[in-house]
């Protein structure tokens, strides 16, 4: 996991706003996790070509705080595809005060399961352009 350049594809960008702060003025960690979950869900859903659900978040660590006005950039990379599940590496980086330094603030491994309309696991769609890495 690089500290200089993000791994994966830029999946979402959003701005951290005052409504998302804790008493210390930093952005709530839960808000950052939700942005990461949105991004991972987009990547997993596109790969599965259908509905997916988050079943686990592993090895999350917060490296630096996110501040109001930072642009949060979330990158995703599919690490492994199983029969019904996928592991997605997710990194959150910020552009400080919208235009400043690009810094990694957290990363984690998210696991998703492809499901049908009733929430039952289904096989991940086969895609010849993706590897089972």
Residues 86-101 have pLDDT tens digits of 999 999 999 998 788 8
119: which 2 tokens? 């929430």
Amino acid 33: pLDDT: 97
Its pTM stands at: 0.89
Mean of the per-residue pLDDT values for the chain? Answer: 92
Query: Looking at residue 132, what is its pLDDT?
Result: 44
Average pLDDT of the residues in 80-87: 96
* Long-range contacts of residues 114-117, Cβ cutoff 8 Å, at least 24 apart: 114/44, 114/48, 114/50, 114/51, 114/52, 114/84, 114/85, 114/86, 115/50, 115/51, 115/52, 115/53, 116/50, 116/51, 117/51
Question: What pLDDT score was predicted for residue 126?
Answer: 77
For residues 115-120, give the mean pLDDT.
95
């Amino acid at each position: 996991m690089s500290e200089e350049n993000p791994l994966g594809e830029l999946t979402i960008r959003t701005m951290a706003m005052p409504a998302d702060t804790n008493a210390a003025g930093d952005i709530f960690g839960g808000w950052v996790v939700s942005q990461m979950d949105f991004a991972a869900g987009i990547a997993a859903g596109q790969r599965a070509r259908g509905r997916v659900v988050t079943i686990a978040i592993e090895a999350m660590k917060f490296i630096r705080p996110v501040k109001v006005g930072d642009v949060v950039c979330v990158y995703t990379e599919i690490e492994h595809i199983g029969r019904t599940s996928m592991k997605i590496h997710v990194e959150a980086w910020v552009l400080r005060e919208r235009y400043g330094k690009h810094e990694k603030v957290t990363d984690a491994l998210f696991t998703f399961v492809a499901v049908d309309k009733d929430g039952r696991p289904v096989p991940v769609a086969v895609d010849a352009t993706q590897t089972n890495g």
